[in-house]
Amino acid sequence: MAAAPTSGCGPSRTASVFPKTINSSNLVASAHNPPASTASGGDASSPGHAGAAAREFDAAIFDMDGVVTRTAAVHSRAWKQMFDDYLRARAARNLGEFREFTHEGDYRRYVDGRPRYQGVAKFLDSRGITLPAGVPEDAPDAETVCGLGNRKNELFNEIIAREGAGLYESTVALIATLRAQGYKVGLATSSRNSALILEKSGVASLFGSVVDGVVSAVLGLQGKPAPDIFQAASARLGVHPEHAIVIEDAASGVEAGANGGFALVIGLAREDNHAELWRSGADLVVSDLAEVTLAQINEAIRAKRAKG
Ligand SMILES: [Mg+2]
């Protein structure tokens, strides 16, 4: 297996402030999703009640794109527009043939879930194209890995600003239930736009910790499938990975969770890619979080621990 020609750009010169997201007074009402633990006869929010014993974890770490927000489609569109524009111009310049960037063959395989610049490098490598890495400050029209990544980011932000970011209501409902019952909730995403997207979609206050692409760069964390970013999000909640679960929709993210020693990794097969997520190490795979209750999550952790 060939390694990507470059892991991305050089380090950014601009450090960013870690986004503050804790605001329990602003929690989305959870009345629309009653505590799942009542299904098994317990109320985990009452210390000493029988239901408290059914609680097998303390924190849940969510990926953002495709799990909380419906931004995956926006990313795919922005990547396609950027790469198609570039490939078309390059083909014209070299009198070569233009071959389009596809969702199934290219986005899913090389880009989805990876840090932006690594995604650029990985896809270019697949087409036998080598460009200078450049630096994060490169202009969006620079013919470098960073420049192309920045152009994609510009296109993405244009779409978000124009159309906003939709939410997966079932995910928001589960987060509200978790928080109402005292579980901690964090976010771990490769995105460098999480502050904008979370704010735009009104869910920034739901997460007690956010580790995104900006924080990762500051801390020197490796991108998914390395487990760093999930572990950092868990650590910031004060919870050991053995007592935290991961919810992810991309294969590389599921792999990251599986590599991180977490209590459970739930794969969200948004594109009917159940088999791929199972192969990547998911403990549980569903199409949407509406298919699973908190009681079932706790039960799955018990079953996993029983297997050893
Ligand atoms: Mg995702």
CB 60 within 8 A of CB 178: yes
CA of 41 to the centre of ligand 1 (A): 33
CA of 251 to the centre of ligand 1 (A): 9
- Domain 24-71+166-307 in CATH 3.30.70.1350? The answer is no
pLDDT at position 29, please? 31
pLDDT at position 8, please? 62
Q: How far is CA 147 from CA 119, 123, 131, in A?
A: 13, 14, 10
pLDDT at position 51, please? 45
pLDDT at position 9, please? 62
Which is catalytic among the residues 58, 63, 112, 212?
63
CB 117 within 8 A of CB 151: no
Fold of 72-163: DNA polymerase; domain 1 (1.10.150)
User: Which whole number is the average pLDDT over 273-289?
Assistant: 98
Q: Where along the chain do the CATH 1.10.150 domains lie?
A: 72-163
- Examine the residue annotation and report whether 63 is marked as an active-site residue of this protein: yes
As a whole number of angstroms, the distance between CA 120 and CA 106 comes to 11
Which of 233, 275, 236 minimizes the C-alpha distance to 257? 233
CA of 130 to the centre of ligand 1 (A): 27
pTM score of the predicted model: 0.69
Residue 238 — pLDDT band, cuts 50, 70, 90?
Answer: very high
Which is catalytic among the residues 65, 212, 249, 283?
65
Q: Where along the chain do the CATH 3.40.50.1000 domains lie?
A: 24-71+166-307
Q: What is the pLDDT of residues 94-140, one digit of tens each?
A: 999 999 999 999 998 999 878 899 999 999 999 999 999 999 999 99
CA of 179 to the centre of ligand 1 (A): 22
CA of 65 to the centre of ligand 1 (A): 4
CA of 295 to the centre of ligand 1 (A): 24
CA of 162 to the centre of ligand 1 (A): 21
CA of 275 to the centre of ligand 1 (A): 17
Q: What's the whole-number average pLDDT of the chain?
A: 85
User: Which whole number is the average pLDDT over 263-268?
Assistant: 98
As a whole number of angstroms, the distance between CA 208 and CA 212 comes to 13
As a whole number of angstroms, the distance between CA 269 and CA 286 comes to 6
Residues around ion ligand 1, judged by CB within 5 A, are 63, 65-66, 249-250
Asked if the model's pLDDT at residue 243 lies above 60, the reply is yes
Which of 25, 32, 24 minimizes the C-alpha distance to 173? 32
User: Number of C-alpha atoms within 13 angstroms, CB side, residue 230?
Assistant: 33
User: Which whole number is the average pLDDT over 235-264?
Assistant: 97
Residue 6 — pLDDT band, cuts 50, 70, 90?
Answer: very low
Full strand arrangement of the beta sheet holding 244-248: 209-211, 184-188, 59-62, 244-248, 264-268, 284-286
pLDDT at position 161, please? 80
pLDDT at position 305, please? 96
More confident residue, 49 or 189: 189
- Examine the residue annotation and report whether 138 is marked as an active-site residue of this protein: no
As a whole number of angstroms, the distance between CA 10 and CA 1 comes to 24
CA of 174 to the centre of ligand 1 (A): 17
pLDDT at position 159, please? 87
* Residue 220 exposed, middle or buried by CB count within 10 Å (0-12, 13-18, 19+): exposed
User: For residue 225, is the peptide bond before it cis, meaning its omega torsion is within 30 degrees of 0?
Assistant: yes
pLDDT at position 113, please? 78
The C-alpha torsion from 186 through 104 and 217 to 124, rounded to 10°, is 180
As a whole number of angstroms, the distance between CA 163 and CA 272 comes to 25
pLDDT at position 107, please? 93
